[in-house]
Amino acid sequence: MNLAKALVKGSLFRTSHTLITMIVSFIMMPVLIEGLGDHWYGIWAIVGGFIGVYYTFDLGVTSAVSRYISRYLGKDQSDNVNAVINTSIVIFSVLGAGIFILSLVISIFSDNFVDSVDDSRLISTLIIITGLSVALEFPFNSFAGIAEAKARYDLIALSRIIILLTSSAFTYYFVISGYGVLSVAIISFCSARLSNLVYLLIALKQFPKIKFGSRYIKRSTFKELFSFSLWSFAVELTGNLPYRTNPIIIGYFLSASSVTVYVVGQRLVEYSTKFLYQATNMMTPVFSRYHATGDYEGIREKTVLVTRINAFLGCLAISGLIIFSMPFIDRWVGHGYGEAVNVVFVRVFGTIGIFVFSQVNSVLYAMNRHSIIAKVTLIEGMSLVVLSIILVQYYGIVGIALASTIPGLLFRGIVLPALCTKMIELPYLRLVKEVLPVMVFTVVFATLYDYVLYNYFTVRTFGEILSHSIIYAVIFLLSVAFLFLKDYEWTLLEGVAPVIKKVRNRRNV
């Protein structure tokens, strides 16, 4: 298989995996909530928060392993590849042991989330099972980058799709049969082991020259991996860890049932942003090429262009979620989750607001200045945790949503873009002016559409929600296109879809 075909095939499988994951999650969430109940689903979400904490112990080493394995495979340096694999196995084994010990410590404090002794024991068991699962998974990260370097994304995605569907089917059966949350944890543990085994087999198939032995464990490779992983770890830790602790904070100060309500709203926002990032989060190689040739005008031009595209898509997502989230949540998980709608209203502004200016991250990575991202998100993360602990006691889960939104908008919607645009000599206010008109238009348009929709139509069933959502998206995007697209943006669109040029020519006749 040539490289072009492999990349296209891999892209299709990766996109399919993302879509299938979202569909399965969409189907399984109400099943789990109904089968486990609000309390135990909330407990499982809290355990998921601890899993997020465990994964930060990666320390950015997986990114470093993937980078260096890809580099050495490209140079056909098998000994160096084996040095990275064997050395990282030692690193990940130590980190995995640390994770398991941490899970044992955390399990001691499980009584902070429930009153019953029996429930406390079950939570301790869940925490230990998931901690052991992550600990066992870590050494397999040593093979990261092998399949990717061979452009066999399709094999990884296909294996994950099969395992996802299989584990979801088992989970569905055991939950509706009344086996409870422990069965979910055991199935998750077993599917993770199967996934690890398949990942190893793919690596062995793509790189048969893998060798294991102490002679491949090198001090120089330790230094090499950690020199790259430091800032990657800092970005991961400060950018994601605070958000992963939200269920833990809610469970500690409120209740496990409150966690369920929060997760319903947060998950809906996450589904939307996943699609958005899939659409535009691929500019780092482009910016890297411009930076390598010193073409800062190209960086400025593409930063403005993609930020405008992000604004168009982001405004559609924000307004769409605000208009349709209430009937959707009622139909999806049932009545009684009204506060989840408030979470959506608050979180969507923070999440999509960050997305609009997210291309500055790609620029900074391309310029090898991702340390700036780490420093800014460190302050953001600290602010988020402090605000969460304060606001949750006054405003409940909406307080958590506010605490997650305000620092994000401030630091990644204003501070980080301002620092980045200064580096590439692009006035920050120009970037704001490029997106402000469409934001104002969205407020007016969405308000009018919402009024007409709920006064003259019914929006209750999934079919009605879907049809009205499609109509809204089409009208919104067409309006934005004809009102705000510039000539060179039309030219780009016409190059991608020639039919647009024909339509415009007929319109101009």
Q: Do the Cβ atoms of 131 and 50 come closer than 8 Å? A: yes
Whether 195 and 218 share a structural domain? yes
Q: Give me the pLDDT at residue 441, please.
A: 95
Can you tell me the distance from the alpha carbon of 264 to that of 484, in angstroms, rounded to the nearest whole number? 34
Residue 504 pLDDT greater than 70, yes or no: no
Domain boundary among 215, 244, 273: 244
Predicted structure pTM score: 0.81
Stretch 211-230: mean pLDDT: 77
Stretch 76-99: mean pLDDT: 87
Whether 19 and 32 share a structural domain? yes
Whether 215 and 292 share a structural domain? no
Stretch 121-136: mean pLDDT: 93
Residue 30 lies in a domain: yes
Residue 503 lies in a domain: no
Whether 3 and 71 share a structural domain? yes
Q: Give me the pLDDT at residue 296, please.
A: 86
Q: Which residue has the higher pLDDT, 375 or 242?
A: 375
Whether 11 and 45 share a structural domain? yes
Stretch 79-85: mean pLDDT: 85
Q: Give me the pLDDT at residue 382, please.
A: 84
Q: Give me the pLDDT at residue 162, please.
A: 92
Residue 121 lies in a domain: yes
Whether 357 and 417 share a structural domain? yes
Q: Give me the pLDDT at residue 112, please.
A: 77
Q: Give me the pLDDT at residue 172, please.
A: 95
Can you tell me the distance from the alpha carbon of 133 to that of 135, in angstroms, rounded to the nearest whole number? 5
Q: How distant is the alpha carbon of residue 18 from its chain centre?
A: 11
Stretch 309-324: mean pLDDT: 91
Q: Do the Cβ atoms of 329 and 268 come closer than 8 Å? A: yes
Ranges 98-102, 276-280, 317-321, 505-509: which has the least confidence: 505-509
Whether 203 and 333 share a structural domain? no
Supply angle C-alpha 289, 293, 295, rounded to 5.
Answer: 90
Q: Give me the pLDDT at residue 4, please.
A: 55
Residue 69 pLDDT greater than 90, yes or no: no
Residue 491 pLDDT greater than 90, yes or no: no
Can you tell me the distance from the alpha carbon of 195 to that of 63, in angstroms, rounded to the nearest whole number? 19
Residue 47 lies in a domain: yes
Stretch 262-279: mean pLDDT: 82
Residue 229 pLDDT greater than 60, yes or no: no
Q: Which residue has the higher pLDDT, 472 or 116?
A: 472
Whether 82 and 219 share a structural domain? yes
Note the pLDDT tens digit of each residue in 18-40.
788 888 988 999 999 999 999 89
Range ranked top by mean pLDDT from 211-215, 372-376, 402-406, 497-501: 402-406
Q: What percent of the chain lies above the pLDDT cut of 90?
A: 38
Q: Report residue 16 as tokens.
A: 């399919």
**Residue type at 296?**
Y
Residue 508 lies in a domain: no
Whether 308 and 338 share a structural domain? yes
Residue 499 lies in a domain: no
Sign of CA dihedral 470, 473, 477, 480: positive
Q: Give me the pLDDT at residue 475, please.
A: 95
Whether 484 and 397 share a structural domain? yes
Residue 498 pLDDT greater than 70, yes or no: no
Q: Give me the pLDDT at residue 346, please.
A: 93
Residue 240 lies in a domain: yes
Mean model confidence pLDDT for the chain: 84
**Domain interval for residue 260:** 245-492
Q: Which of 360, 337, 468, 454 is nearest to 411 (CA)?
A: 360
Can you tell me the distance from the alpha carbon of 270 to that of 268, in angstroms, rounded to the nearest whole number? 5
Whether 259 and 194 share a structural domain? no
Q: Give me the pLDDT at residue 237, please.
A: 60
Identify the band that residue 181 occupies on the pLDDT scale cut at 50, 70 and 90. very high
Q: Give me the pLDDT at residue 492, please.
A: 66
Stretch 222-245: mean pLDDT: 65
Helices (H), ranges, 281-295: 284-293
Number of domains in the chain: 2
Q: Give me the pLDDT at residue 473, please.
A: 93
Stretch 58-72: mean pLDDT: 75
Residue 74 lies in a domain: yes
Whether 231 and 95 share a structural domain? yes
Identify the band that residue 353 occupies on the pLDDT scale cut at 50, 70 and 90. confident
Domain boundary among 244, 259, 278: 244
Residue 164 pLDDT greater than 90, yes or no: yes
Range ranked top by mean pLDDT from 53-67, 170-184, 325-339, 358-372: 170-184
Q: Give me the pLDDT at residue 480, please.
A: 92
Residue 166 pLDDT greater than 60, yes or no: yes
Identify the band that residue 344 occupies on the pLDDT scale cut at 50, 70 and 90. very high
Can you tell me the distance from the alpha carbon of 318 to that of 302, in angstroms, rounded to the nearest whole number? 24
Residue 337 pLDDT greater than 80, yes or no: yes
Instruction: List strand residue ranges (DSSP E) for 39-197, in order.
Output: none
Q: Which residue has the higher pLDDT, 266 or 73?
A: 266
Q: Do the Cβ atoms of 339 and 259 come closer than 8 Å? A: no
